[in-house]
Structure formats: C-alpha cells, structure tokens
Chains A and B, each alone.
Chain A
Amino acid sequence: MVSTARRNRKSARWAVLIASGVVAAGFYVAILNSPQPMQTNLQPVQAGPQPASFVSPAPAQPEPVSDDGANAPASSGLSQPGTAQPPVFAPRPRLRSRGS
C-alpha cells in the first residue's frame, strides 16, 4: 500500500514537471515569435541652433495680383504700407472718389 501511494505521488510529480516544461516551452516559442519592439522617434535633446522651421518665417510672398488687384489682400491703409492683412470683405462705402 505504501509503495503504491509513493508511486502515485511520484507520477503526479512527474506530471507537474512535464506540464511545467510544456508551458515553459510554449512561452519560449511565443517569445521567439513575438514582433520586434517598436522603434521610438524620440531623439535626445541637443543644445545648439534651432531647426530651420523655428527660425522666424520669411516674409510671405505676395499672391499674384490681377490688373485691378482683385486677388490682393486688404490692409489697414496708408499708415502701414506694405503690411498685408488677411482679405476682408468691403463694407459699403459712404465715401466715393469719382473724379473731377
């Protein structure tokens, strides 16, 4: 009886060992087949000059202007020559330069 019980315990121990080996082998295979770690785009911060995109932007080139300036942006007027503003739709003028 004793020997039978010992034999049963021994069998159970082997079963556990075998099962553990199978699981460990499975993990190992899974690890081998897993995708490569994701590359990051993070770069180390470096001192020195700023990249070109941070340099003050160059003055915008004027858009092509038709003969009557129809494509041109409006600005605040004579006091600031050369400072183009975003296009603004004209309010209805009360003043009219009509020639003399």
Chain B
Amino acid sequence: MRETSRTFRAMNTDILVIVATPAEQCAQAETALSDVEALFAGVEAAVSRFRPESELSRLNRSAGRPFVASPLLFTLVAEALEAARATGGLFDPTILGALVAAGYDRSFELLSLAHGAPTTRPAGGRAHTWRDVCLDARSRTIILPPGSGLDLGGIGKGWAADRAARRLRPFGSYAVDAGGDISVGGVQGDGGPWAIGIEDPRHPGNDLAVIGVRDGAVATSTSARRRWSSAGKERHHLIDPRTGLPAESEVISATVTARSAARAEVLAKAALLLGPELGLRFLEEQPDAEGLLVLTGGETRVSSHWGEIKYVA
C-alpha cells in the first residue's frame, strides 16, 4: 500500500488528507484528493458567515422570508437542527447574534489583527432559538425568524470532513483532518488503527494522549483557542446557548470520538458546556461516543471505555 496525501488551507484552518492505495491506484487517489480539496472550497464558499456573498450570508440577510437553499446548505442546516434537538439545544446554530454581540464579528485572523476592538453591542439576551427555524424539505425552503441568523461554524468542518471521508471510502484506508476534526477509515500504513494525538489545551503543540481509531471520528471543542479581548474582558468563541454568553465551564477542553466528525464536534461542545459530571454522563448515554475532558486545573476525566482506545503513553 502506498500513501498519498495533501495539505491545503480551507475554512480558516489547515486540512490534511491521507489515502492509502495500491501503487497502481495512485492516479485515482490524486483525483480523489483534488475532489476533496474542491469539496472543502465549495462548503466554505457556501456556508462561511464571514463571506458576504456566501449562500449562508444571503440566507441570514433573508431572515423572516422564505429562502430556497441549495442541496448542500439545506442538508447542512437540517443536520445542524437535528444536532440541536439531540443535544437539547446545547448546540444551537442560531447563536450568531450572541457570537457577534460577544465580539466575534469577523474571521479570527481579522479579530486578532484588530486586537479586540471593543464592541458596543450588549452580550446575551437571545430572542430566538433553533426551534424557531422552519424547514420545508420538499422545496428546500428555510425560514429564519426575523432578526436572527445562523452560524454553522460549530458543525461545518466536521460535516465537510465526513463528506470528504465519504468520497475516499472506496479506497478503504484514509484520514481527513480538518483543523482537528478528524474522520478516518480503515487502518494506517503500519496496519494499526489511525493514531490520533489529543492536544493538551494548556500546552499547545503537546499531546495529552494518543488514541487509536478506525472507521470513526474525533473532534475537540475548547475554550482555550480563539480567545480575544472585547470591552475590556477576555472572550472566547464557545457561546452557551442557555445564557447567550461565552461559556463559563469548569471544562476547558472536551475531546469526543463518535461515528462521524460532525457528531463528535457537536457532542464535544455539549459535554464542555455541561461540565465534568453532567458532561461525562451525557457522553455515557451516547451509544457511539467516548470522551476526554480537561478541567481548568489540568485534571482530566474520561468516559468508561476511553481506555480501550487509548495507547499507552
């Protein structure tokens, strides 16, 4: 078997794609990698809220009126609402207003350049939730509540990684790493499960653990990244839909394995918001999930079967 890989930048992060094929299929692998790169570019073009011309931005500007969406956007919005239902609203794509109010009103690179320009908007106080979004699957029509908007940043990368994995599945062995939201299939070059490092949120660049995964996905949600200052206060991008404010949780990082990257991403955020005890209990209730929570003091908590996928340090 021979590995073919490609790295590129999309969705404001680094993407790594690896596919293992017999030597005679290298040309097909290269074609598939190009398809994956185009897929990420297409998803970003459609669902970035930082691009005024994106389909999501047009949808948000159409709040209060029917919007006929492309199959891609409609499918992603439908899955985001399903994720909101599955987490009891702990994941809620209608937090756009709260994100903007917290100061996350431009891409993170621009936010860093602006060095946290104070926002004049008050934070919190959400008027709408995911329950107020109407979908009509037959006509692919979406109606957002007036004055609301969607942010699909909490599910988009994982969803794109899953889509890319679907494209690579015929090859058997592949990995898609979309900025830490990872979907893998089969085994890696040495015949073992894909080895995935879990970054220590308090020491970026160092792994807290290494796990072995095949035919599954991993995602981490953390409040330690994408932080900025706004109105004299330090902020982060994880909005708690229950308050409309940046989350104040004892958990600073939640890593979750699940059957898909989008699901792992959503479950990780929900576990982080719930805190150590309820977060672990929530993960234990999921039939396909295991998790590692890192607390503010550096302590860790793991779900009951986490040890079965963790390599010895």
Residues of A within 8 A of B (CB): 62, 65, 67-79, 81-85, 87-100
Contacts and interface: CB of A to CB of B under 8 A. Distances in A.
B216 interface: yes
Main secondary structure, interface of A, reads loop
B273 interface: no
Contact of B199 (A65, A87, A91, A98): A98
Nearest to B306: A69
A96 B182 CA distance: 8
A95 B209 contact: no
Main secondary structure, interface of B, reads strand
Given A67-B299, A68-B300, A95 B182 contact: yes
Interface of B: 13, 16, 18, 157, 175, 177, 179-182, 184, 188, 190, 192-199, 201, 204, 207-216, 218-222, 224-226, 253, 255, 257, 259, 265, 288, 290, 292, 299-302, 305-313
Contacts, number: 157
Contacts of B308: 72-75, 81-85
Lowest 7 CB-CB distances: which A-B pairs, in order?
A72-B307, A99-B222, A90-B311, A78-B216, A90-B210, A98-B199, A93-B197
Given A65-B302, A70-B313, A74-B311, A95 B220 contact: no
Given A70-B313, A72-B307, A78-B257, A96 B196 contact: yes
Given A95-B16, A97-B181, 7 more contacts: A77-B193, A79-B214, A90-B212, A93-B210, A96-B199, A99-B201, A100-B180
A63 B264 CA distance: 27
